[in-house]
Structure 1
Amino acid sequence: MNLKPLEDKLVIKKIEVEETTQSGIVLPSSAKEEPNIAEIVAIGSGITEDEKKKDQVKVGDRVVFSKYAGTELELDKEKYTIIKFSDILAVVEK
């Protein structure tokens, strides 16, 4: 991927989660709401150079983001979303 976000933007890739009902039926991601959890793929320089923000997120972190945030795009048959740092609600810790 050759996508470099500017300023306080991040490039994220949504994590697809299959869900199984109690009766054992697997619901594909197309049959339910879009996930609000994603993995950070790239971080803009406005975040990495800011003393307060730089230690809060890093590439590879899983984050929860605002439902209607960002701009979606497709590059090399992969779907990505570009969001602002302020659209991140939480970091998912393992």
Structure 2
Amino acid sequence: MAKSKFRPLHDRVVVRRVESEEKTKGGIIIPDTAKEKPQEGEIIAVGSGARDESGKLVPLDVKVGDRVLFGKWSGTEVKLNDEDLLIMKESDIMGVIA
């Protein structure tokens, strides 16, 4: 992603979807109309964190560069610098891929 001036707030992250496979394991090409949007992505920006009950800032567990899995309907789709991205809360992320 080109250097963006966008910075998510609080416990939100910006995710770039990882492109899904063009073929099945058996070699069948999947047409664009049959593909589902991938539920895997790379974090490209993170907010500063959420505040707990006492007002203390709690940093996020994820960081820029992490590959993550998220729910099918997670996040809000946005277009930044001509790139389709997702903005979601950290709680919408199911896990980090090691």
Q: TM-score, normalised by structure 2?
A: 0.79
Gaps of 5+ in 2: 51-56
Contact 1:16 1:29 in 2 (8 A): no
**Larger helix proportion of the pair:** 1
For these two proteins, the number of residue pairs brought into alignment is 88
User: Among the aligned pairs, what percent are the same residue?
Assistant: 47
Q: TM-score, normalised by structure 1?
A: 0.82
Contact 1:20 1:27 in 2 (8 A): yes
Q: Give the letter for the 2:77 counterpart.
A: E
Residue 15 of structure 2, aligned match among 6, 12, 16? 12
- 1:85 is the counterpart of 2:90: yes
Residues 1-94 of structure 1: pairs in structure 2 closer than 5 A: 1-21=4-24, 22=26, 24-28=27-31, 30-46=33-49, 49-50=57-58, 53-54=59-60, 56-93=61-98
RMSD (CA atoms): 1.7
Moved over 4 A (4+): none
Name the larger-Rg structure: 2
Query: In the TM superposition, what is the alpha-carbon distance from 1:25 to its structure 2 partner?
Result: 3.0
